[in-house]
Amino acid sequence: MTNINKNNEKVVVTNLHKYFDHNEVLTGIDATIYEGEVVCVIGPSGSGKSTFLRCLNQLEEVTDGKIVIDSFDITDKKVDINKVRENIGMVFQQFNLFANMNVLKNIMVAPVSLKKMTKEEAEKKAMELLNRVGLADKAHSFPGELSGGQQQRVAIARALAMNPDIMLFDEPTSALDPEMVGEVLDVMKELAAEGMTMIVVTHEMGFAREVADRVLFMADGVIMEQGTPEEIFGNPQNPRTQDFLSKVL
Amino acid sequence: MDFSRVFNEAMPLLLEGLKLTVIVSLVSILIGMVIGLFVCLMKMSKNIVLRAIAGIYIWIIRGTPMLVQALIVFFGIPQLIQLAVKGFRFDAITAGIITLSLNAGAYLAEIYRGGIMAVPKGQSEAARSLGLSKTQTMIKVVLPQAFKFSVPSLVNQFIITIKDTSILTVIGMAEIVNQAQRYVGTTYVFFETYSVVALMYLAIISVLMLISNYVEKKLKYEGRKRHRDQH
């Protein structure tokens, strides 16, 4: 894509380590992600991709290392993580729409509770977003009444309601029936085209190849190789990357 | 069989008792629900002291009979307080409400905890990822869902609490059983009187079950019904 602003480092990760008990899941990650960049993270399961993503908004506490987002060091205990999270949207594999609220409330609850918008503003914004993801007619449905693809599109709308400037996607299409993958990827492509900074953990190699500005290949808790989609998919250098791609492509 | 005698002579007493049973049950359930919520949050907190206090409270209440708890609250604790405040005592109703609330609180805390743990972790992760605080996440997302999961167990506990008021006859609280005992003490019409007592409990609890069925249905169909209204 063309919107990358190399002068603005949105996310800077330095020497990130993460242990679960005695199990070291991330073994030293360094990465910089620029404003407007779309980064896809690929790799075998167990490689730490999701853990890496979840560290970026502190859903996982980091064991060691530094994560700076918009010049806030979020590993610093003095930084109000809730404030930082307001600017980082996240979309989950299992959608995680709030089961006790209808679609409209799901989208409105954060901006209203956090006093970013009045109820009226939030409702207007929610309807705009629902229009955008093609689900305006579902505003009063409950999550359980929607298909997986519809739920995920609502989840994207919910994350966007806070006007974030970074979006994290944790395998957003992995729990979907095959025929619904396209509708979710289309919304993500649109978002990418509008210049959103996106970090996407995915198994959709087609999406990564088409939309990513940069692809990170992770294995054993580190970034083994990174480059443009052409470099990674066309001419991978690392034997682990070659091996992984030969299995999934 | 002499039911007409019981209806004529004992009914006013038994209805007095019924009234007290209902009031004491309601008040105790309400206080117990608040105690339960706090104890549950304490038990789930990261603070080890709070967790220990909650754990000990639940352990003591669950590990001792309510009859003994009532005796301690009514006779034992006032004696202790009398060391500092001369002539201090609880009336039976106060002691009864304290006992029942403390008792229900411990069981309700565990019921809430079960409900909270039944809410998928992804629900609170999604809320936190949007920037909601822990408290906001609890109030807006987790507790409403936990409540829904808990309804059947909550109703069960309410039924137990209502029936447990009968134990409070030992401290002389004038609920249904106590009134009945006073009446049969002089008249010896055991079968008829205690049958009426049983029917009164059955009536209260039947009303409660009707309400709970309604609530459960309402929580369950909320989504589908509104959806249908749309079309």
Note the pLDDT tens digit of each residue in A176-231: 999 999 999 999 999 999 999 999 999 999 999 999 999 999 999 999 999 999 99
Contact flag B128-A102 (C-beta cutoff 8 Å): no
pLDDT at A86 over 90: yes
Contacts of B128 in chain A (CB under 8 A): 59, 82, 85
Model confidence band, residue B138 (pLDDT cutoffs 50, 70, 90): very high
Please answer yes or no on whether B130 and A94 come within 8 Å at the CB atom. Answer: no
Are residues A54 and A29 in contact, defined by beta-carbon separation less than 8 angstroms?
Answer: no
The verdict on ipTM greater than 0.90 is yes
Residue whose pair of structure tokens reads 């007095």 in the numeric block? B16
What angle, rounded to 10 degrees, do the helices at B11-43 and B190-230 form? 50
3-class SS string, A104-163:
HHHHHHHHHHCCCCCHHHHHHHHHHHHHHCCCHHHCCCCHHHCCHHHHHHHHHHHHHCCC
Q: Is B84 exposed, middle or buried (0-12, 13-18, 19+ CB in 10 A)?
A: exposed
Report which of residues B4 and B161 the model is more confident about.
B161
Cα(B18)–Cα(B179) distance, rounded to whole angstroms?
Answer: 9
Contact A249, A232 (CB under 8 A): no
Instruction: State whether residue B129 sits within 8 Å of chain A by CB.
Output: yes
Q: Which of A57, A99, A110 sits opposite B132 (nearest CB)?
A: A110
Spatial distance between the Cα atoms of A28 and A66, rounded to a whole number of angstroms: 10
Give residue B56's identity as a one-letter amino acid code: I
Which residue in the set B125, B130, B145 is minimally distant from A162, CB to CB?
Answer: B130
Secondary-structure breakdown of chain B: helix, strand, coil percentages, each rounded to the nearest 5: 85, 0, 15
Task: Give dist(CA A91, CA A97) in Å, integer.
Answer: 10
pLDDT at residue B77 in the model: 95
Average pLDDT, chain A: 95
- State whether A82 and B131 contact (CB < 8 Å): yes
> Per residue in B29-67, pLDDT tens?
999 999 999 999 999 999 999 999 999 999 999 999 999
Pairing of strands A88-91, A166-170: parallel
CATH 1.10.3720.10 fits B3-230, yes or no: yes
How many residue pairs from chains A and B have C-beta atoms closer than 8 A? 81
Contact B224 A145 (CB under 8 A): yes
Query: What is the pTM (predicted TM-score) of this model?
Result: 0.84
Helix A148-160 to helix A103-113 angle (10° resolution) is: 20
Burial class for B225, CB neighbours closer than 10 Å (0-12, 13-18, 19+): exposed
Nearest residue, CB atoms, A145 vs list B130, B132, B223: B223
Structure tokens at A87: 């600017």
Question: Are the C-beta atoms of A82 and B132 separated by less than 8 Å?
Answer: yes
Interchain contact, A85 vs B128, CB within 8 Å: yes
Length of chain B equals 231
